[in-house]
Amino acid sequence: MLRRIDLRGQEGLLDGVLPRPDLDSQVPTSAVREIISEVRQGGDAAIRELTIKFDQVDIATPRVSGIELERAWKSLEPELAAALELAHSRILYFHEQEAGKAHEVTQDEIKVTSVPQPVERAGLYVPGGLAVYPSTVLMTALPAKAAGVEELVLCSPPNPSGQIDQVVLAAAYLCGVSEVYKIGGVQAVATMAYGSETISPVDVIAGPGNIWVATAKQEVSGTVGIAAAFAGPSEIVVVGDHSCPSTSTAIDLILQAEHGPGGRAWLVTWDQEYAQEVEDAIEVILESSPRRSETLETLIEDGYLCLVDTPQQAIKVVNEIAPEHLQLMCEGADVLVGDVRNAGAVFLGNWGPASIGDYLAGPSHVLPTAGTARFSGALTVDDFQKRMHVVEVSKAGFDGVANAVGLLARAEGLWAHAASVTERERWAEEGLQP
């Protein structure tokens, strides 16, 4: 009945030996994209039509009211409600402990050990073209190395001479990168995700890039892990006032804009006079910039000055933008930062330009862009690890939860789930020993 796989005497890699689901043949990519497009374009009307099509029911208003939710809770049998409450309490407690970095959580003789396991092979993308980025080698390779990843694979576009800049290669050597390839753009992402005749695929891809690279990473997500959300063209928001020199604000807006087209630079302030001083300073500073054309293009296409009434309103703007870099160069920055919810990295005061974070503050400079800081953060060791939970249950621990497990399993219509508990209870009643 069960298909047997005999690995006795098997040596070496198991590629092609163990059966795996053929996801490529199962994933309805074009159909999914079509449905997504319908929802984006048609909104509520499209949602209603799609529900009729796929669920054969016409629902005018899909949202379930709070009254309905409360009514559903009150309708439960007391035993099932108690089982849900027990599960709720235990699950919430575990995740609160894990969020606090606890590696072992014990509840009523059920012990769960959280074991971080590194991926085996990480792909690092280091941009090229307009600039050279040895710092990105460090900012991607070192979190992976600290996470315990054994094989680091780096792709970077070749220059017109067909080479990768020496300082990038030197940084790769310093970080112990296993493999370096002269491949850039979408093709680099595809190569790391799917492999080729000579290059093995990776488990996770990390690193910033232009819109093409960022989009390619979204496309291969699911085949490989994508570390940190949409790490695309660079962004900055500066919230500033006269407590910091206007020239500092000007140069800090320029420092992100000089990465080139596609990025964004915002000044948010409640001081119109200060705003004008910053704009004047930008014009003066740009005259000395060897990257004046790239910087000016970014500032013209996606440079913004936002005037607000108060510092509090400025933070509301920040949370809406959800920028990659945020600099609070204003009075009371240490207090205002408490209200920031959406930003990749925050720098406080005049002495903390984002350039320090770009190079050596410590955290990775690979940060979420394009508003994805609403749900994602900086690249960390967690992006190169997955948590494996080891669960140990004693007889007393089993006895404490068995009834609730059975009730929940039966509520879901899963007979074998419930039987896995009742069978052990029968076994114990008959005095059988494990």
pLDDT (0 to 100) of residue 293: 84
Q: Are residues 188 and 249 located together in one domain of the fold?
A: no
Q: Residue 390 and residue 387: Cα distance in Å, rounded?
A: 10
Q: Are residues 326 and 251 located together in one domain of the fold?
A: yes
What is the token pair recorded at 145?
């190395």
Host domain of residue 308: 235-374
Q: Are residues 246 and 214 located together in one domain of the fold?
A: no
| Sheet with 179-181, edge to edge strand ranges | 179-181, 151-155, 121-125, 204-206, 225-226
- Last residue within a domain, chosen from 348, 374, 400: 374
Pairing of strands 104-107, 110-118: antiparallel
pLDDT (0 to 100) of residue 14: 63
Q: Are residues 222 and 239 located together in one domain of the fold?
A: no
pLDDT (0 to 100) of residue 21: 61
Does residue 360 form part of some domain? yes
Number of domains in the chain: 2
Lowest mean pLDDT among 6-15, 364-373, 406-415: 6-15
**Percent of the chain surpassing pLDDT 90:** 54
Does residue 273 form part of some domain? yes
* Residue pLDDT, tens place only, 38-81: 988 998 999 899 888 887 889 898 887 889 889 989 998 999 88
Residue type, 343: A
Which pLDDT band, with edges at 50, 70 and 90, does 434 fall under? Answer: low
Q: Are residues 239 and 324 located together in one domain of the fold?
A: yes
Helix (H, G, I), strand (E, B) or coil at 135: helix
CB 111: neighbour CB atoms within 10 A?
A: 15
Q: Are residues 224 and 239 located together in one domain of the fold?
A: no
Which pLDDT band, with edges at 50, 70 and 90, does 433 fall under? Answer: low
- Last residue within a domain, chosen from 324, 351, 374: 374
Cβ pair 268, 314 in contact under 8 A: yes
Cβ pair 421, 402 in contact under 8 A: yes
Q: Are residues 189 and 292 located together in one domain of the fold?
A: no
- Last residue within a domain, chosen from 365, 386, 407: 386
Does residue 17 form part of some domain? no
pLDDT (0 to 100) of residue 124: 96
Which pLDDT band, with edges at 50, 70 and 90, does 1 fall under? Answer: low
pLDDT (0 to 100) of residue 429: 86
Q: Residue 124 and residue 46: Cα distance in Å, rounded?
A: 39
Does residue 109 form part of some domain? no
* Residue pLDDT, tens place only, 317-337: 999 999 999 999 999 999 999
Which pLDDT band, with edges at 50, 70 and 90, does 267 fall under? Answer: very high
Which pLDDT band, with edges at 50, 70 and 90, does 256 fall under? Answer: confident
CATH of the domain at 148: 3.40.50.1980
Q: Are residues 240 and 352 located together in one domain of the fold?
A: yes
* Residue pLDDT, tens place only, 183-211: 999 999 999 999 998 999 999 999 998 88
Which pLDDT band, with edges at 50, 70 and 90, does 86 fall under? Answer: confident
Does residue 149 form part of some domain? yes
Which positions are annotated as active-site residues?
A: 324-325
Does residue 49 form part of some domain? no
Q: Residue 135 and residue 132: Cα distance in Å, rounded?
A: 9
Cβ pair 192, 153 in contact under 8 A: yes
Does residue 419 form part of some domain? no
* Residue pLDDT, tens place only, 18-32: 666 665 666 677 887
DSSP string, 263-295: -EEEEEES-HHHHHHHHHHHHHHHTT-TTHHHH
Q: Are residues 266 and 163 located together in one domain of the fold?
A: no
Q: Are residues 262 and 170 located together in one domain of the fold?
A: no
CA distances from 192 to 57, 90, 307 (A): 43, 40, 44
16 vs 387, more confident: 387
Q: Are residues 177 and 255 located together in one domain of the fold?
A: no
pTM of the entire predicted model: 0.83
Predicted confidence (pLDDT) at residue 162 exceeds the cutoff of 90? no
Predicted confidence (pLDDT) at residue 2 exceeds the cutoff of 60? no
Strand partners, 345: 325
Q: Are residues 244 and 221 located together in one domain of the fold?
A: no
Mean pLDDT value across the chain: 88
| For residues 231-243, average pLDDT | 89
pLDDT (0 to 100) of residue 5: 67
Does residue 369 form part of some domain? yes
* Residue pLDDT, tens place only, 359-405: 888 888 889 888 889 999 999 999 999 999 999 999 999 999 999 99
Which pLDDT band, with edges at 50, 70 and 90, does 102 fall under? Answer: confident
- 206: nearest Cα among 122, 263, 133, 145: 122
